[in-house]
């Protein structure tokens, strides 16, 4: 199993799935969410609109994940997850962020996917501290990979050099 970090455009990942740091409505937004929707084309928004709402305006509650096709992307699927907004650390943010990574990995395994790429969930507009988020991401993914899995490749995409460095340190750590 390969775990690696890339600094670049997650929309160009030519694997089985990319993870979208979506909002709960799943209909597009800013940051990586907007980039993924633009690259995938309007079919992605249409597919997201077909996902059943669990309450008005919410298709994917924070910490959960949903899967759609990849449409115009190189990846075959998009796994959407809504990360937590950082509120200082006392609002269960770490557990919710770990739940995002875990839910995405579970969906990937349920669909027998072999490769998945993650953005830095909640580290942009949601202001989750990059070093803390990187540690949570890598530890959660490693825990998911500890059991039987179809996944052979996990790539963490960094949007800037600071995030890349944080992710590389987390991948290099073994605890």
User: How confident is the prediction along the chain (175 residues), in pLDDT tens digits per residue?
Assistant: 699 999 999 999 999 999 999 999 999 999 999 999 999 999 999 999 999 999 999 999 999 999 999 999 999 999 999 999 999 999 999 999 999 999 999 999 999 999 999 999 999 999 999 999 999 999 999 999 999 999 999 999 999 999 999 999 999 997 5
The gap between the terminal CA atoms of the chain, to the nearest Å, is 18
Q: Tokens 């490749």, residue?
A: 153
* Whether 155 contacts 118, CB under 8 Å: yes
Element holding 143 (H helix, E strand): helix 130-145
Going by the DSSP 8-state scheme, the letter that residue 55 receives in this structure is: B
Q: Measuring CA to CA, which residue among 36, 8, 12 is closest to residue 22? A: 36
**Cα 162 to Cα 139: distance, rounded to the nearest angstrom:** 19
Choosing from 16, 33, 131, 165, the catalytic residue is: 33
Instruction: Please report the domains of the chain, with CATH numbers, ordered by start residue.
Output: 2-172 (3.40.220.10)
Give catalytic status of residue 95 as yes or no.
no
Beta strand segments in the chain, E: 2-7, 17-22, 65-69, 77-82, 115-118, 153-158
DSSP H helical ranges for the chain: 31-40, 42-49, 93-110, 130-145, 161-172
């Amino acid at each position: 199993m390969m775990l690696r970090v890339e600094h670049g455009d997650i929309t160009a990942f030519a694997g089985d799935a990319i993870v979208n740091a979506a909002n709960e409505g799943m209909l597009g937004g800013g940051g990586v969410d907007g980039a993924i929707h633009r690259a995938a084309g309007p079919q992605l928004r249409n597919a997201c609109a077909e996902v059943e709402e669990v309450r008005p305006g919410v298709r994917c509650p924070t910490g959960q994940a949903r899967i759609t096709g990849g449409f115009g992307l190189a990846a075959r699927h998009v796994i959407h997850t809504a990360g937590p907004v950082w509120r200082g650390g006392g609002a269960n943010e770490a557990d919710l962020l770990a739940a995002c990574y875990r839910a995405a990995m579970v969906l990937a395994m349920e669909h027998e996917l072999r490769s998945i790429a993650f953005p830095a969930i909640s580290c942009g507009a949601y202001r989750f501290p990059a070093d803390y988020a990187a540690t949570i991401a890598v530890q959660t993914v490693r825990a998911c990979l500890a059991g039987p899995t179809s996944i052979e490749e996990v790539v963490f995409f960094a949007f800037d050099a600071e995030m890349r460095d944080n992710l590389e340190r987390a991948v290099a750590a073994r605890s």
